[in-house]
Amino acid sequence: MLVLGIESSCDETAAAVVRDGREVLSSAIHTQIALHAPHGGVVPEIASRSHIEKIPSVLRKALDDAKVSFSDIDAVAATYGPGLASSLLVGFSAAKGIAAAIDKPLIAINHVEAHIYSAFLSQSAPPITEALPLLSLVVSGGHSAIVRTGADRVPHILGQTLDDAAGEAFDKASKMLGLGYPGGPAIQKAADAAANHGKGISFPKGRISGDNPSLGSLTADFCFSFSGLKTSLRNYIQKHPVESEADRDEIAAAYQDAIVNALADRCALALSRGRYAGFSAGGGVSLNSALRARLAEVAAKAHVPLFLPEPRFCGDNAAMIAALAGSGIGIQPPESWALDASPNLTF
Ligand code: KG4
Ligand code: ZN
């Protein structure tokens, strides 16, 4: 089964062709980073206008790279949420139009569920069904969640951020430190250059009390809060002005450590409280090398195999969309033709 996938939930316009949920024949991505960088973050209207402009050429490239044409495609899959409403509408509408024109099924995909699946796109990874029950950490600019996928093959959120996402925490800190957008890679680079690894600077762990009203049915121990971390960085910089690149690098290292430890500690706890056959990560922040190293330690200690996506499948891409659609696992998508974009979609 050959699936054409389309992704446009935030600031990447992407299309991909994937065979049978595993074999990536092409993965074309146009990133809008250069358009949003001067604003220090994603501007929704700029994003949707750029999606409209770029989606035809990205689709063309995905088909050409895969050496197929529209008539070879068996189904069209697209992200319908969560994400920016005006961005989602572009990709999802394009998918509806294409599926109608070639008279093939339309498969609506949950973006967060696709990030979970992204670790199983590598030829070296086993099929996801062999890693169930699976614990996944999904960390990007818009989401931070710990998810359990059990034998029923349906994801359940165990914990998530109650305020900022991990990527947002990187992006906001980077702005404060004058390191630019996107913040994750910039903070990582500064942290790597820190001679003292941020020792002597400490930021709060962001623990959440069990009576926090935002928790709902979630367990406090598996949830995150990053807005306090951002405030403590602002306070730290006010008290200890950044006077050199070396100062800045040390702060970046301590800040990165705080995020990485918050994420890894929650995962370690979740692994210790359940039975798991696999542990995975996904989303743009899963590119972070300090996080990847810490997750490897956590997995080794818990004796659970770790599956990390290839770098090209960490950030937003359409291969994970087409692959999940073709895998036959996961949430049974609702009847797609009548669906609207769903910015706050959850599961
Ligand atoms: O998954 P993604 O491309 O888009 C969303 O769905 O949000 O993630 C983008 C986020 C940004 O916040 C960016 O700063 C972060 O991923 N990111 C990183 C790294 N590379 C990208 N965060 C930490 N370390 C990195 N190396
Ligand atoms: Zn994403």
- According to the model, what pLDDT value does residue 99 have? 96
> What percentage of the chain has pLDDT greater than the value 70?
100
Residue 34 CA, ligand 1 centroid: distance in Å:
15
Q: Is the pLDDT reported for residue 331 higher than 80?
A: no
Predicted pLDDT at 329: 79
- What pLDDT score does 300 carry? 98
Nearest atom, ligand 1, residue 142 CA:
7
Q: Per the structure block, which two tokens stand in for 161? A: 């951020």
pLDDT at residue 171, as a whole number = 95
User: What's the distance, Cα to Cα, between the start and end of the chain in Å?
Assistant: 26
CB 162 within 8 A of CB 224: yes
Return mean pLDDT, the chain: 95
As a whole number of angstroms, the distance between CA 253 and CA 261 comes to 12
- Model confidence at 217, pLDDT cuts 50, 70, 90, reads confident
Query: Which ligand 1 atom lies nearest to the CA of residue 182?
Result: 14
Residue 40 pLDDT grade (very low, low, confident, very high; cuts 50, 70, 90): confident
Please give the torsion angle defined by the CA atoms of residues 130, 135, 138 and 144, in that order, rounded to the nearest 10 degrees: 170
- pLDDT tier at 210, thresholds 50, 70, 90: confident
Does the pLDDT value for residue 148 go beyond 90? yes
CA 316 to ligand 2 center in whole angstroms: 5
Lining ligand 1 with CB less than 6 A are 10, 140-142, 167, 170-171, 182-185, 188, 283-285, 287-288, 315-316
- Output the CA angle 315-70-15, nearest 5 degrees: 10
Are β-strands 144-149 and 155-160 bridged in parallel, bridged antiparallel, or unpaired? antiparallel
Strand order in the sheet with 12-19: 23-31, 12-19, 2-7, 75-81, 106-110
DSSP strand pairing (75-81 vs 2-7): parallel
Query: Is residue 214 over pLDDT 90?
Result: no
Average pLDDT over residues 37-52: 94
Position 286 pLDDT exceeds 90: yes
Least confident of 64-68, 120-124, 265-269, 306-310: 120-124
73, 56, 77: which is closest to 13 by C-alpha? 56
Here the tokens at position 67 are 């050496």
Ligand 1 atom at minimal distance to the Cα of residue 111: 6
